[in-house]
Amino acid sequence: MRGNISRVWLLVAVAGLALPVAGQVARSRTSATAETHVRAAKTPYTAEYKTSHVQTLADGTTLTRETTEVKALDSQGRRMTATTTPSADQTPITHVFVYDPVARTQATWHSPGKIANVFTMSAAGAQHTCERGERDDVTVVSGPKSKMTSESLGTASIQGVESRGRRYTTTIPAGAAGNDAPLVSTSEIWTALAVGLNGLLVRDVRDDPRSGKTTKELTNLSQSDPDPATFQPPDGYEIVTKESSGCQGENTLRTATSATSGAPVRSTSEATSPK
């Protein structure tokens, strides 16, 4: 009897020793997975896009505007967005926004030009705010008087990038906005599936009877580390340093870009689409 009790206590002691070890292994696996995810999210790339906006007026006149965009991310987490649009005299104007989490700065400039505004981030939450503003997911307009539905479009290879698509359909019922018939707009969003590029926009097609059709599509993708000069103002530019607690530079850039290109400006009340 005593022998049986001794064996039981021995088994309990061994199991008690094993539990902390198992917990440590589980925590190690979780930490390794989280660390891998963080590294994957910083996979460097340079993505080039072309955007076409076509609007048909009441008299049948068609307006077509085209812009190009370059997005870059390096291994240190620095991000750059450069949007080039034609001006009134057809001279291209390029608006550039750079977010640098290492130096904790945001910079904006345009070309042609000679001044670069550099905003230093002093608030603790500034980095998080700017990262949220630079995400590559897509927003879809949805208000209290509208109804939005979504459906999967499956997967497809776009410019050699394996992508997943969804279609969002927003319906504004008759009478909700002074309209005598329902207004139906659609958005087709395609994002990359590859590790490190997950969520990168590949194609965005928006069709709205009020503003026309806008198509933004990836035209070229490089996964090598961008040239460090990509994140610096051009030589000869005057550097104007200011303090900032948020992403005013990015908001200013988006507003200026939308005004120049004629594309509709997305309001801050737009809801982020689920992935």
Is domain 45-272 in CATH 2.50.20, yes or no? yes
DSSP 37: H
Please return the burial class of 169, using the count of CB atoms within 10 Å of its CB with bins 0-12, 13-18 and 19+: middle
pLDDT at 266: 39
pLDDT at 144: 53
Which residues lie across from 14 on neighbouring strands?
A: none
pLDDT at 43: 87
CB 69 within 8 A of CB 51: yes
CB 226 within 8 A of CB 72: yes
pLDDT at 207: 96
Residues 67-104: b if buried by 16+ CB within 10 A, e if exposed: bebbbbbbeebbbbbbbbbeeeeeeebbbbbbbbbeeb
For the chain (275 residues), the mean pLDDT of every run of 10, in chain order, is: 46 43 42 37 85 93 94 94 86 94 93 94 54 44 74 94 96 88 95 89 95 96 93 94 62 40 37 39
Measured at the CA of 163, the angle between CA 161 and CA 166, to 5 degrees, comes to 155
